[in-house]
Structure 1
């Protein structure tokens, strides 16, 4: 990394309890948009065609094909607008403001039809215990623009460090992407070996979805805005090798959670560190080593040192 940064700007404070209503509504809005991407994008291994991506203003689908035309959809957390843009030059804007998921769903589908880009999606949310079809969801209706903007800033800091961590691996590695199912920013490294069939079990998600996602041995890490405090950075391995949970990792506040089968590091630990980026990199590196060393990955072949 190149020197210290202004951690107050790069790593803002945002307690989960203070924005949980906005978070849960935004999660469902993201699932609406994410399912549009799922419906349009060609299949890629591990479902890499479905996530959203960080942009200079929020989160975007990136370019999606629609017949001979293309479009993208972007959550703009600076102007608080959903942009729907067609390759023909036409566009629609949907205001991000307190409104039920059902209204957001109707507005998004109507805008796509107006652009002559209709899309049919399955309207049941995925990977959540309490799932309400989008068209019937009038319970989630909160949106605080300040909190949405702070969350995006949290993601920007995490994305910057995850991108640097990703650059150190020359084996198969995912993009840094935002999975709208669980609402987490993640990057995943692979050993190159196949994995035993995943048992599934994610709520409102078919087991075969998880089988595809975890078809190969991996070490995955990221940021999740849930739990207590201000969210967590996490790291896990599939399959989890013997000795993984007992492996020494850093910094001192990092620990293995038997309940979720992951190493966790509180966001606050990173935010309040003298060098937040270096602190997070230390967590990512040592938890990756817990997976790679205990599962005997060929680290010499898989790791690199970009100039």
Structure 2
């Protein structure tokens, strides 16, 4: 009985940040990334455009990743249930459908997803090719087998449930324009972005398989953005990042805590290994230190209005007016 109780305590301990090394689940992560693009493109195709593509993102919840309500047919919500390893969809008329997440090809996922949406009275019409990837094989033609490492996926989801509340708390310390905490399926990163309120110079674009018009709209105004990658995209380990656009002079030379943080010249942004956060004595405080320090550097060097900053929000207490 003691052993069983200990196991239950470990599984339900919300202070535990799981190990999520990228290499062992690289192929499964790549598959999940492409599946998320399919679901995200469905939401994108049926939602009115919101600034900076906020209408296209996915959100972390207790079971996995969700679209929220998509205005298609009777109103449809899609969820990656990363605990039970299935894709579910429900609609406002009371119907629901699902299929399992298991080894399959991208083409098979695409076909099953379209069938599920059509069953619920939706229109599964969306752009059929990946974005922000150098090799953009159309989903329907991507027939290579893809693995599904269920244990790794569950650990990844657990990590997201630890990270999202920290990002959400950091979001409270700013009364200017600030994004939701959301997952961009193009680059497959969880992100939160603050805006100075000033227009930015036109972005040069050039992101693989992404129209420059979308990139320029996304970066139409000055930003300080932070987020989390599971790995890939130029850095082969799970990492937190923080960048500014446009990059203020001297940004790369700023000293940023904790000690494991560094400026990556290739990426053009500060990075902090997830492993350094999860093994810290206080992971939340360590991550907040990185988020706040990199934002402070971007805002100070970029001449942002100091009056936009506020203390981090507390439960049940209104933020101060000044």
**Aligned with 2:140: secondary structure?**
helix
CA distance in 1 between partners of 2:169 and 2:194 (Å): 13
Which residue of the other structure, out of 149, 163, 166, is the alignment partner of 1:161?
A: 166
Task: Name the CA shift for 1:42/1:7 in 2 (closer, same or farther; >3 Å).
Answer: same
Q: Which residue among 241, 248, 251 is the counterpart of 2:248? A: 241
Query: 5+ residue gaps in structure 2?
Result: 1-11, 318-322
**Which whole-Å deviations, capped at 9, do the CAs of 1:243-288 have from their partners, x for residues lacking one?**
1111111001101111010000011100110000000000000000
Q: Who is 2:91 aligned against?
A: 86
Q: 2:268 aligns with which of 251, 254, 261?
A: 261
Q: Does 1:30 align with 2:25?
A: no
Deviations 1:46-73 (A, max 9, x none): 0000000011100000011125x21100
CA contact (8 A) 2:14 2:162 kept: no
Match of 2:288 among 277, 281, 285: 281
In structure 1, C-alpha distance between the alignment counterparts of 2:263 and 2:178, rounded to whole Å: 23
Cα distance in structure 2, aligned partners of 1:9 and 1:294: 35
**How many aligned positions are there?**
301
Provide TM-score, normalisation by structure 2.
0.90
- Using a 3 Å threshold, how does the CA distance of structure 1 residues 188 and 168 change in structure 2: closer, same or farther? same
Q: Which has the higher contact order (CA 8 A, sep 6+)?
A: 1
Provide the residue aligned with 1:10 in structure 2: 16
Q: Distance in 2 between matches of 1:115 and 1:276?
A: 42
Across the aligned residues of Structure 1 and Structure 2, the Cα RMSD in angstroms comes to: 1.5
Aligned counterparts of 1:140 and 1:43: Cα–Cα separation in 2: 34
Match for residue 63 of structure 1 among 59, 65, 69: 69
- 2:223 — aligned with what? 218
Aligned-pair distance for 1:299?
1.7
**Which residue in 1 is equivalent to 2:136?**
131
* 1:47 aligned onto 2:53: yes
Gaps of 5+ in 1: 1-5
Deviation readout 1:1-45 (Å, 9 max, x if unpaired)? xxxxx9896310011000001000111100010000000111100
Partners of 2:103 and 2:145 within 8 A in 1 = no
Does the C-alpha gap of structure 1 residues 8 and 157 become closer, same or farther in structure 2, counting only changes over 3 Å?
A: closer
Decide which of 122, 142, 146 is 2:151's aligned counterpart. 146
Distance 1:28 1:305 in 2: 35
Among residues 297, 311, 315, which one is paired with 1:290 in the alignment? Answer: 297
Distance 2:191 2:16 in 1: 18
Superposed, 1:227-238 pairs within 5 Å as 227=232, 230-238=237-245
